[in-house]
Structure 1
């Protein structure tokens, strides 16, 4: 029986059940220490000019409707690397997921050696990565970056402007097999599944998983901090940044463990946003002082949930109350988000 998953908090239990059933559940919502996915103002996502590589349709459009961002936001990445596919290259183990769009399996190859596979969907490519995507996987432009024989990054381009891809990272142990070959096989299977009817999330009420973070923010919300014509920088499927006038604003939706005391980090303080709503803000001083405001959107009985994170940063010499600006940012966007 095909069961549409809900977001799950118990990553280990869900992964064990997933391995036995051969299908995927939602991401484990445990807090991770992965680096912040902040796009810098200099990031470039222009299209390739290599005449030997076929260009996609129009800017802002995927190379195939199957890869439309609004569709990808709801697809469970663990379902794309289900047991049957991974068994073609080795022996799968537990699944782990640290975000809406990432799933990993730290498995063994057919010789019993280390074969770690991590999948990202909606991955943002740089212009250099796009230009180097001159191979092909399952009908899509593909690029590879090999770091010695034990590590390989393979991307299948799903959109060229802004550039996005389905990306697979493969790591093998010392003395193990070459990393790119099994990666190609798995990524080809992933692309074919994406073109079919892959398993989707069944998000809880109030979940922001389907929201386009770039589309939901009005220019009038950005103008007081960034001026009339900020530059938009999408990153992945759930984060968007805007830059202008020595400042940056960012919104991101993500899964995380919800701390019982609201201390998302040691600097967090509870902030009243009015109407019974509260957020948790933290300020970091330095060359580019930054205020981060976190709003909880969903939480289950195991304290796993989803948050909306609002960030306002500006150069040291810019006169701006960054936390006050972050609160105004959140208050403007909140009514537009799904309500619990």
Structure 2
């Protein structure tokens, strides 16, 4: 039986490969085995006529279907949604690669032997314009489609407020390698959505993994107030990033996979800082037009230096005078006790 590719939490670079029929695990993100549910992986896309309606009315803060709840999607392995059997309906799959928790790519060949690159994102943040332009239907959901010369971007809306989607990007070659990118994109995306509604393979977080954390929910107003004032505005992005804005300043929390440098220098300007309790972070000040301080703290790491990190960022306009790095450390110290213990 085909082995679904596992996500490797190392890959900050898209070239970090997952073998199509093999497996790789990252720290805290091992595969879980659950009963397979048969789905019509390569089913043809449903109607793409304008003005399509969803079966479930949109509700603020709620997904259009419980299957798309953020707490569920954070644990879904995106590579498992575009497994080999589904990709074989449009061509010949190659190696899988993944640059973060919610993205998986396969740089393959179509049925004519031409280049066909497929990238799937879950929990993808849409703009208000993207949502307005989602006038088609795919897999029973509102869908938007944008075609360029050799690429096609297709989304299916999984939540309207804030707007999120499952998104596929399909790119073909140029010149003699050119092929129509949208048709295979629709087929693969529909198969992926149907699998997502079923019982998809999930990560199995080990101790210390922050993959399940909602970054917007874990930070309270008291933590934000010293920099942003009493009424900061939260801006979620994807499933693992949240930022907050206030008068002339911004704070941000990112939870992500990373290659852990042996010297701790995630940035050429990184310096090691002591956060107390034996915990250290790597801090870098960026003196740009909107100066910022970034602090990265490693949460998990394996023998191959594949890991998961949390990154805290505090920035503000040059007219706002405050110690950005001191504020970033205070931000981190307030949030760290609420993260899973390493």
Question: Unpaired segments of 5 or more residues in structure 2?
Answer: 29-49
Return the alpha-carbon distance in structure 1 between the equivalents of residues 118 and 8 of structure 2: 22
Contact 1:269 1:282 survives alignment (8 Å): yes
Q: Does 1:196 align with 2:193?
A: no
Give the equivalent residue in structure 1 for 2:18: 15
Shift of the alpha carbon at 1:57?
2.9
Indicate the larger mover: 173-182 or 236-245: 173-182
Give the equivalent residue in structure 1 for 2:108: 107
Shift of the alpha carbon at 1:291?
0.3
Return the alpha-carbon distance in structure 2 between the equivalents of residues 4 and 135 of structure 1: 31
Shift of the alpha carbon at 1:83?
0.2
Query: Taking structure 2 as the reference length, what is the TM-score of the superposition?
Result: 0.87
In the TM superposition, what whole-angstrom CA distance separates every residue of 1:222-247 from its partner, at most 9, and x where no partner exists?
00000000010000000000000110
* 1:235-274 pair list within 5 angstroms: 235-274=237-276
Give the equivalent residue in structure 2 for 1:43: none
Return the alpha-carbon distance in structure 1 between the equivalents of residues 231 and 281 of structure 2: 28
Return the alpha-carbon distance in structure 2 between the equivalents of residues 332 and 277 of structure 1: 13
Contact 1:76 1:201 survives alignment (8 Å): yes
Return the alpha-carbon distance in structure 1 between the equivalents of residues 310 and 322 of structure 2: 22
Contact 1:6 1:204 survives alignment (8 Å): no
Does the C-alpha gap of structure 1 residues 311 and 165 become closer, same or farther in structure 2, counting only changes over 3 Å?
same
Does the C-alpha gap of structure 1 residues 287 and 245 become closer, same or farther in structure 2, counting only changes over 3 Å?
same
Return the alpha-carbon distance in structure 2 between the equivalents of residues 63 and 53 of structure 1: 11
Return the alpha-carbon distance in structure 2 between the equivalents of residues 165 and 244 of structure 1: 27
Does the C-alpha gap of structure 1 residues 327 and 95 become closer, same or farther in structure 2, counting only changes over 3 Å?
same
Return the alpha-carbon distance in structure 2 between the equivalents of residues 3 and 179 of structure 1: 25
Give the equivalent residue in structure 2 for 1:39: none
**Secondary structure of residue in 2 paired with 1:240:** strand
* 1:42-191 pair list within 5 angstroms: 53-54=53-54, 56-148=57-149, 150-174=150-174, 175=176, 176-191=178-193
Aligned positions, number: 315
